[in-house]
């Protein structure tokens, strides 16, 4: 696949301490994406890094709902919500980017999930599927038409970012060696990658990217 740096953006999703091994919601082998992502960054003119940024009482935290447990699904204001351990609390060590990530190469940092009662898996829309984050407008203003997706986690924030990008008529590429998944429920990563492929997303390894 030919990489055109003028028309493309690298989207680095939530490579934060709480999503890496040892974090509050650690993705197995999650820190393994850092090296490959760093290797890709110099090849892009536009790099976007997203950061989960929750208030301490966020509605996605199981602790906010007595009688419910982690991985339960409830409805919050009519929107389905999976409950998670507290993670990526604003200003916490867990919310910081992984120390090895070359974050200085990011053109923009987009913080999401800051609304107390509304989660945001996607980098493009809140979980109500209507409220935009503003990223689309930024990308369009730069003439970006192709989004290369990397980061954590494959089956949640990467997946929903990819779906929304496809819905907005971007060309979408998931860089397979630059993502890792929660895989909950078991098999979720494989199922969601297959759904993305069928929806028109390309799945490629970084070694397959040609060009600048």
Other C-beta atoms closer than 10 Å to the C-beta of 81 total 18
Q: What is the DSSP letter of 158?
A: I
In the three-class reduction of DSSP (H, G, I as helix; E, B as strand; rest coil), residue 151 is classed as strand
Give the catalytic positions in this structure.
14, 112, 157
CA atoms within 13 A on the CB side of 28: 7
pLDDT band at 210 (very low <50, low <70, confident <90, very high): confident
For the chain, domains (ranges, CATH) are: 2-55+90-211 (3.40.50.850)
Query: Mean pLDDT across the chain, nearest whole number?
Result: 96
pLDDT bin (cut points 50, 70, 90) of residue 160 is: very high
* pLDDT category of residue 212 using cuts at 50, 70 and 90: low
Q: Tokens 């989207």 map to which residue?
A: 11
Helix (H, G, I), strand (E, B) or coil at 172: strand
Predicted confidence at residue 185, as pLDDT, reads: 84
pLDDT digits (tens, 9 = 90+) for 67-100: 999 999 999 999 999 999 999 999 999 999 999 9
SS3 state at 77? coil
- The pLDDT of 160-171, averaged and rounded, is 98
Gyration radius (Cα) of the chain, Å = 16
- Judged against a pLDDT cut of 80, whether residue 200 lies above it is answered with yes
pLDDT tens digits along 127-154:
999 999 999 999 999 999 999 999 999 9
Determine the 3-state secondary structure of 109 from DSSP: strand
Instruction: Pull the structure tokens for residue 29.
Output: 């082998």
User: How far lies 75's CA from each of 67, 119, 190, 203, 210, in Å?
Assistant: 14, 12, 26, 32, 44
């Amino acid at each position: 696949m030919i990489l055109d740096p003028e028309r493309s953006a690298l989207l680095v999703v939530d490579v934060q301490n709480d999503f890496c091994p040892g974090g509050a919601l650690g993705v197995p082998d999650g820190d393994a994406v850092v090296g490959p992502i760093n290797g890709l960054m110099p090849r892009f003119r536009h790099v976007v890094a997203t950061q989960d940024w929750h208030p301490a009482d966020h509605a996605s935290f199981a602790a906010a709902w007595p009688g419910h447990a982690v991985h339960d699904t409830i409805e919050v204001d009519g929107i389905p919500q999976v409950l998670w351990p507290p993670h990526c609390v604003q200003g916490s060590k867990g919310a910081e980017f992984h120390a090895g990530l070359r974050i200085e190469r990011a053109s923009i940092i987009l913080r999401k999930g800051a609304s107390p009662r509304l989660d945001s898996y996607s980098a493009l829309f809140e979980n109500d599927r209507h409220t935009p984050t503003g990223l689309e407008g930024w990308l369009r203003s730069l003439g970006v038409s192709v989004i290369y997706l990397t980061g954590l986690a494959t089956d949640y924030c990467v997946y929903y970012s990819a779906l929304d990008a496809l819905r907005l008529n971007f060309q979408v590429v998931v860089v397979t060696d630059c993502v890792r998944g929660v895989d909950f429920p078991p098999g979720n990563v494989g199922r969601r990658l297959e759904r993305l492929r069928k929806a028109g997303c390309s799945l490629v390894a970084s070694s397959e990217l040609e060009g600048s």
